[in-house]
């Protein structure tokens, strides 16, 4: 497990993104920018980014805390051929989670690549809390989708949405797993 908790001096990279996390193990070469006062943990292509220092505490976000999980899905395992189709298939289990209010699927871009997203809010049985957040799936390359779930306590996601988008836009990945 790699941890990034030290401030790194680099040029300004985006809205509050002043540090870079690099992971090059297990067939994953992934790099992204993040705010230096946030915490990052990565292991086997699964990355946790946020204001919560102990990832074990992420299931009950407190006011002002933000958590994001980034990972890469082999397209041969995906239920769809596009980000929209894959997200549509994910909605089955997302909608089974508590009393979540889920938006319709919308198209967007992540790092200039085709992507789809939904917003969600409400009581989550998976996280044992009221959450407010977003799920994004994008075309990482011809073999992988990128996927991110970002959330915070109820009704406070809007202040993190721009930072989440900037982190996702900064991702550079070469995956050979």
Query: Collapsing DSSP states into helix, strand and coil, what is residue 51?
Result: coil
Region 162-170: what's the mean pLDDT? 95
Residue 127 clears pLDDT 80, i.e. is over it: no
Region 81-103: what's the mean pLDDT? 84
Average model confidence (pLDDT) for the chain?
A: 83
Q: What pLDDT score does 5 carry?
A: 39
Name the strand (E) or helix (H) holding 120.
Answer: strand 113-124
- Rg of the chain (C-alpha set): 15
Q: What pLDDT score does 1 carry?
A: 37
Residue 144's region, left for phi above 0, alpha for psi from -120 to 50, else beta, is beta
Instruction: Kindly give the pairing relationship between strand 39-43 and strand 106-110.
Output: unpaired
Residue 50's region, left for phi above 0, alpha for psi from -120 to 50, else beta, is left
The distance from CA 50 to its chain's CA centroid, rounded to whole angstroms, is: 10
Per the CB < 8 A criterion, the answer to whether 70 and 47 are in contact is: yes
Per the CB < 8 A criterion, the answer to whether 117 and 104 are in contact is: no
Question: For 28-85, what is each residue's pLDDT tens digit?
Answer: 899 999 999 999 988 878 899 998 777 666 666 677 788 899 999 999 988 889 999 9
Of 68-82, 115-129, 161-175, the range with the lowest mean pLDDT is: 115-129
Query: Collapsing DSSP states into helix, strand and coil, what is residue 77?
Result: coil
Which range, 21-25, 121-125, 132-136, has the best average confidence (pLDDT)? 132-136
Region 84-89: what's the mean pLDDT? 93
pLDDT band at 3 (very low <50, low <70, confident <90, very high): very low
DSSP summary character for residue 36? T
- How many whole angstroms separate alpha carbon 110 and alpha carbon 23? 20
Per the CB < 8 A criterion, the answer to whether 59 and 128 are in contact is: yes
Q: What pLDDT score does 55 carry?
A: 65
Task: Please identify which residue in the block is written with the tokens 């919560």.
Answer: 52
Q: How far apart are the first and last CA of the chain?
A: 17
């Amino acid at each position: 497990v790699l941890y990034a908790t030290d401030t790194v001096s680099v040029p300004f990279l985006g809205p509050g993104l002043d540090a870079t996390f690099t992971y090059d193990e297990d067939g994953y070469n992934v790099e992204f920018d993040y705010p230096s006062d946030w915490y990052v943990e990565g292991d086997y292509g699964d990355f946790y980014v946020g204001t919560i220092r102990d990832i074990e505490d992420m299931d009950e976000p407190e006011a002002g805390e933000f958590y994001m999980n980034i990972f890469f899905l082999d397209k041969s395992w995906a239920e769809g051929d596009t980000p929209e189709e894959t997200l549509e298939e994910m909605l089955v289990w997302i909608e089974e989670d508590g009393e979540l209010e889920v938006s319709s699927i919308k198209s967007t871009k992540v790092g200039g690549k085709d992507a789809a997203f939904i917003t969600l809010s409400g009581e989550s049985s998976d996280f044992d809390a009221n959450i407010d957040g977003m799920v994004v799936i994008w075309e990482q390359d011809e073999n992988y989708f990128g996927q991110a779930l970002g959330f915070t306590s109820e009704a406070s996601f809007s202040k993190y949405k721009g930072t989440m988008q900037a982190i996702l836009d900064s991702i550079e990945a070469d995956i050979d797993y």
